[in-house]
């Protein structure tokens, strides 16, 4: 199946699956074509400034008031929401996990989600949660709406087809997909089981970071973001809609699919992005710049320069800095960093950090290259070197990330992770010019 997309980030798009379904010159005509209903989906307050005002007009078979009925509570016990602070036996320190195998059981996107960390407070719309997902089965007559935040989906193995109210997205390793808060969708695996990561953003929606002195180009260029064209599902069979609201899950039975939008226009949309189109900038003479130069998306906090979430990647790139230590330097950070590896090796941790794995370095916990990476980088010939076949990422937040019971008890937790720095010995002896 070849899907069609419209390019651009934050654009005002318009699309229709049937000719003439989209009204022209107004949003809410007395009678919509094809007997459709007009409905607005707002992702921001009505009075938000024009540059941050988010809304789309949907022209659908039934308004969303017909997509809900009597709700009843259900449990998705592995999906946790901040604040979620639990006692566990892990002492404070840097943490790393080997990949978690895909379970040999039937799991949909909802039943296969496993929360690793939570941060902030969903009730005040600040912070985030990090999840792993395992998908082995499609959501056939099941649909989902997350009122708590938008979902940034990062596949690592396999592919996903994400059918939203506004159209279809397909994403695999090297892609990301974003589903806005309050938008209904379903997910199915493509060609086999899928595994990956999810960042649930409780705060302001993701946007592109400012480039500052970099100027008008590079990093994530807007034209490389892809928004789906209109597509609808007209089935009239029993279905169920699951809603996540303030950390709790409610389910309602309906007699039809809620993915019934025939046409739409606006700027509150799902989208996908190929991380391999990211145009990195870096040191071309000496030193290693801050990793913030690799920020793809940022969710602002309201405090200048301090993100609710930064989504950062470490892609293929040239290393050319002279008389410089080229890997990331040792540091302590006020931000809390969750890292994952999509494919290849990460240059600061070539061993022990495998695709599908993850690490957590919380606020003010020191980290940096392991002993082998330090020794290699300190003695290597400083000729131009291209890092190839590598793609790591980081979910970074201003809030401490609290472990869930699931993460704390995973058998893939690497108990001796901190020992990767044990080979770093004191080298100082007071001799001037010691190298």
Question: Which residues form the catalytic set?
Answer: 288
**By three-state DSSP, how is residue 65 classified?**
helix
SS3 helix, strand, coil % of the chain, rounded to 5? 10, 40, 50
Closest-CA residue to 4 (of 168, 163, 152, 158)? 168
Closest-CA residue to 153 (of 193, 116, 109)? 109
Let me know: does 159 contact 1? Beta carbons within 8 Å: no
241 Cβ neighbours under 8 A, 6+ residues apart: 67, 68, 143, 144, 145, 184, 251, 252, 254, 258
- Strands of the sheet containing 336-344, edge to edge, are 95-97, 358-361, 336-344, 390-397, 306-314, 295-303
Closest-CA residue to 120 (of 204, 207, 182)? 204
Residue with tokens 């036996």: 89
Closest-CA residue to 263 (of 29, 75, 1, 2)? 29
As a whole number of angstroms, the distance between CA 238 and CA 223 comes to: 39
| DSSP secondary structure, 25-47, as one string | S-SS-SS-GGG-EEEEEESS-TT
Let me know: does 149 contact 181? Beta carbons within 8 Å: yes
Residues, the chain, total?
Answer: 435
Q: Are strands 142-146 and 239-245 parallel, antiparallel or unpaired?
A: parallel
411 Cβ neighbours under 8 A, 6+ residues apart: none
As a whole number of angstroms, the distance between CA 146 and CA 185 comes to: 9
- For residue 144, list its beta bridge partners: 185, 242
CA distances, 298 to each of 90, 116, 166, 176 (Å): 30, 21, 23, 14
Tokens standing for 244?
A: 């996540």
């Amino acid at each position: 199946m070849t899907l069609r997309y419209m390019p651009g980030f934050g654009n005002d798009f318009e699309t229709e699956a049937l000719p003439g379904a989209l009204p022209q010159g107004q949003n809410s005509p007395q009678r919509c074509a094809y007997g459709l209903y007009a409905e607005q989906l707002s992702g921001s307050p009505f009075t938000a400034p024009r540059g941050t005002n988010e809304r789309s007009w949907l022209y659908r078979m039934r308004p969303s008031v017909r997509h809900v009925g009597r709700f009843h509570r259900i449990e998705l016990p592995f999906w946790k929401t901040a604040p979620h602070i639990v006692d566990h036996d892990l002492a404070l320190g840097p943490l790393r996990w080997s990949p978690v195998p895909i379970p040999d059981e039937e799991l949909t996107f909802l039943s296969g989600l496993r929360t690793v960390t939570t941060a902030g407070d969903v009730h005040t719309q600040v912070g985030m949660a990090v999840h792993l997902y395992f998908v082995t089965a499609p959501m056939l007559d099941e649909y989902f709406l997350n009122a708590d935040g938008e979902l940034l989906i990062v596949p690592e193995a396999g592919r996903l087809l994400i059918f939203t109210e506004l159209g279809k997205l397909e994403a695999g390793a090297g892609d990301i997909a974003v589903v806005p808060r309050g938008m209904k969708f379903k997910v199915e695996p493509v060609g086999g089981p899928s595994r990956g990561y999810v960042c649930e953003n409780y705060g302001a929606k993701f946007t592109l970071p400012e480039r500052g002195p970099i100027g008008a180009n590079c990093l994530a260029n807007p034209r490389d973001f892809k928004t789906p064209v209109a597509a609808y599902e007209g089935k009239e069979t029993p279905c169920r809609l699951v809603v996540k609201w303030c950390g709790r899950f409610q389910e309602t039975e309906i007699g039809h699919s809620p993915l019934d939008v025939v046409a739409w226009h606006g700027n509150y949309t799902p989208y996908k992005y190929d991380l391999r189109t990211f145009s990195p900038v870096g040191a071309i003479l000496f030193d290693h710049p801050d990793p913030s130069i690799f920020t793809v998306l940022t969710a602002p906090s309201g405090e200048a320069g301090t993100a609710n979430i930064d989504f950062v990647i470490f892609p293929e790139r040239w290393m050319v800095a002279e008389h410089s230590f080229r890997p990331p330097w040792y540091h302590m950070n006020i931000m809390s960093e969750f890292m994952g590896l999509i494919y290849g090796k990460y240059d600061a941790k070539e061993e022990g950090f495998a695709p599908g794995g993850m690490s957590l370095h919380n606020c003010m916990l020191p980290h940096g290259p392991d002993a082998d990476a330090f020794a290699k980088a300190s003695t290597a010939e400083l000729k131009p070197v291209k890092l190839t076949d590598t793609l790591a990422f980081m979910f970074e937040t201003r809030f401490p990330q609290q472990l869930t019971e699931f993460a704390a008890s995973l058998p893939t937790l690497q108990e001796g992770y901190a020992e990767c720095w044990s080979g770093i010995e004191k080298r100082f002896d007071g001799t001037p010019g010691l190298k």
